[in-house]
Amino acid sequence: MKIIDIVGEDARQSFSIILPDNTRVDVSLWYSSQQAGWFYSISRGSFSLTNRRVVNSPNMLRAFRDVIPFGLCCIISDGQEPVFINDFSTGRAKLYIMDEADVADVEENVIVAGALVW
């Protein structure tokens, strides 16, 4: 897993990540004070997702694991959800991009018999 350490506390942020296969993933993050949370849109080639909530998850893109060769992990230090605008800048929340091997590892070692065990 590779940490995405460029996320600050700006309410709107956009950046690109280069995957090991040299393809680019474009990510947009924004914070909604009315909904007390972070949201994201992500695209790679013809694959795109829009307006999804960032949640404490070993792979927020798990539903698409048979479609895309990467995942997106968010870990919150206290086990809750990212609800504060400064969650990423203070380190309370950490966002990671996962390659194909990371996704397989999460499937094998973190998700057991359909139950989350992390």
- Return d(Cα 83, Cα 64) in angstroms, integer: 25
pTM value? 0.89
What is the rounded CA–CA span in Å between residue 11 and residue 60? 20
What is the extent of the structural domain holding 82? 2-116
List the structure tokens of 114.
């359909």
Give per-residue pLDDT as tens, 4-27: 999 998 999 999 999 988 999 999
Rounded Cα–Cα distance for residues 14 and 24 (Å): 13
Report the percent of the chain where pLDDT is more than 70.
93
Helix, strand, or coil (residue 50): strand
Give strand pairing partners of 15. Answer: 27
- Out of 48-52, 83-87, 101-105, least confident range: 101-105
For 53, the token pair is 């909530």
Q: What confidence tier does 113 reach under pLDDT thresholds 50, 70, 90? A: very low
Task: Give the span between the Cα atoms of 49 and 113, in whole angstroms.
Answer: 27
As for how many domains the chain has, the answer is 1
Q: What pLDDT score was predicted for residue 62? A: 94
- Find out whether 40 and 29 touch, Cβ atoms under 8 Å: yes
Please determine, for residue 37, whether its predicted confidence score (pLDDT) is greater than 80.
yes
